[in-house]
Homo-oligomer: A and B are copies of this chain.
């Protein structure tokens, strides 16, 4: 009864967010998918900023996303850097211009002010987090969540360590989205 209502509200919020993304993009000659891709690239870690990962994150094929990334590069919103170890791999890093644009895109949305001064914000965050987690576990795709909730993330006196790559992670690092993320079982 009440959960179909939550469902409807969430669906409608999605519609509205998409409309706003479309409207914002139009001011800069950008498509919604381009905004989405660039947003992801400002939030993901160094293991996850590849065309492949962007495609998986957004549920699009690599061929499709490749075209959108080409446009973003042509508009100087991101740069492509070849990987040092694996020469097949390309890393995508937003330029200052690209980062600024995404900042504006987020600020332009009516979601942020709608959440401001919301009294039960902490509780809302907690319920939404667990909902997202269930959805992620349910749909059989990669979770694409931040390292601090990952089962590979280890904490010692020296700081954080990724058990998968065996690389140390900073406090900022563990807030970033990782394509290798797995929830603890």
Please give the residue numbers on chain A whose beta carbons come within 8 Å of chain B beta carbons, in ascending order.
2-20, 22-23, 36, 39, 43, 57-59, 106, 109-116, 118, 120-125, 127-132, 134-136, 138-139, 141, 144
Contacts and interface: CB of A to CB of B under 8 A. Distances in A.
A111 to B, nearest CB: 6
Contacts of A138: 110, 113-114
Number of this chain's copies in the assembly equals 2
23 contacts: A2-B125, A3-B116, A3-B118, A3-B121, A6-B121, A7-B115, A9-B129, A10-B13, A10-B17, A11-B39, A12-B132, A13-B135, A16-B139, A18-B59, A19-B59, A23-B59, A110-B139, A113-B138, A114-B131, A114-B134, A118-B130, A123-B123, A124-B127
A114 B129 contact: no
A13 B125 contact: no
Given A14-B13, A15-B36, A17-B14, A115 B6 contact: yes
A2 to B, nearest CB: 5
Given A10-B13, A23-B59, A110-B134, 13 more contacts: A2-B121, A7-B112, A10-B128, A16-B132, A16-B135, A16-B136, A20-B139, A110-B135, A114-B134, A115-B131, A118-B131, A120-B127, A123-B127
**In the complex, the 10 A-B pairs of residues with the closest C-beta atoms, listed nearest first:** A19-B59, A114-B134, A110-B138, A3-B115, A14-B14, A9-B128, A110-B139, A114-B135, A124-B127, A110-B135
A120 B118 contact: no
B118 A13 contact: no
Given A23-B59, A59-B22, A125-B6, A13 B131 contact: yes
Nearest to A109: B7
Contacts of A144: 12
